[in-house]
Structure 1
């Protein structure tokens, strides 16, 4: 980064005192921390910045994710992390506690069942909750489609089209399957996680952050950056990923090569 670029970046982040970090593709890649991530978080905390983690992971809750952060070298408690599963019961589509058809892991089904009645009967369900399911088959998609064709609603834990993992590879994300159901039924999915402002507001309330002094840091234009824009907070995109299903694509306030570069902007 040139001196001129550094000055511009510092100007963009003037007044920032709290940072919300995405996990996949930002803080970690699968089972590997991003270069410099542990040092970054430790330094920010030592300098008095608020640090929290806002993830679209649809297979685990905040306690599991905090444990993974700690194991990888970033000490964290469940109170430092928010995932869609943590706030699923607060989403407007589930406030009336409708019968719900769940596509997702056994853990996700258990979490939803603590909030509302879960049913396997597509003739009864009023809502489809969609989470990433590596064992998803055609019959389950067909049943979910039937719920939607009967007038049901579609609540996706996230709308990420793909998920970054080790080695520069990507896996199909929850948004890819939400798009399939939307194409087949005409029902647009609502998101429990990013980019929904609902999720960002829940996060800032949980972490005690103020919108004017908070920045969202992530790699995904359609979730991290779009959500920050819709919520009215600043955004930093890391990693140079320019994939977007939106046209035009969301544009971050600042782009950096990797998460470690934030140290140069805010600290050094």
Structure 2
């Protein structure tokens, strides 16, 4: 104990004890008072205002930059076959058979929030893929995650996922997508394993995430084309429960090839 008392008696500063500020002095803020030159006071206030304005500009700029960047990044990540398709450029001719009331109801994308499904039916060249991509792009611009797959490509990816070391990773990734677009959907002629893979993907999304199927056949014809397979019937039953079905009609939207009598290529239509 003797060395503790000795240390306590020794001053920490050889020149004497350190003077500690009083409570009133510690709370005293430095200020540019009357003793400061007016030019210095004006310069200080100017710098302070400039700093505040610059910080305000940066805080206002960053969120809007993120909002502008995010929709375009969602469009790029969606893998849309026609990423520039837009509902504003849709040919609304009555001969196409599109229910414009239903289409306008889909534009706010509330159906995606509710996990509902949509089907687009039509003969080849009637614009099924274009309309599906336009709906997908509209969803991206609303901030939803979208993924586009032709059915055969999706089956190939599911087969690779099943054989990989991280089996099931693709199903988890697909479940994260707010809208899954399956183009060229046709349940006929698949193997039992392929029916099961598709069923698992769709079953995961039931009432949780939205699915859009574009097909040559109607949901009623899907049920007629599948074999006597439990997985096949379950798959068709789940995809048939749609909010709305678009039946595209009219002439083919694809550009016809040039002929010898008419060598000039016709103008491309905006809605393929």
Please confirm whether the aligned pair reaches a TM-score higher than 0.5, indicating the same fold: no
TM score, norm. by length of structure 1: 0.26
TM score, norm. by length of structure 2: 0.26
Q: Which one has a bigger Cα radius of gyration? A: 2
Q: Which structure shows the bigger proportion of residues in strand conformation?
A: 1
Report which structure shows greater RCO (CA 8 Å, sep ≥6): 2
Q: Which structure shows the bigger proportion of residues in helix conformation?
A: 2
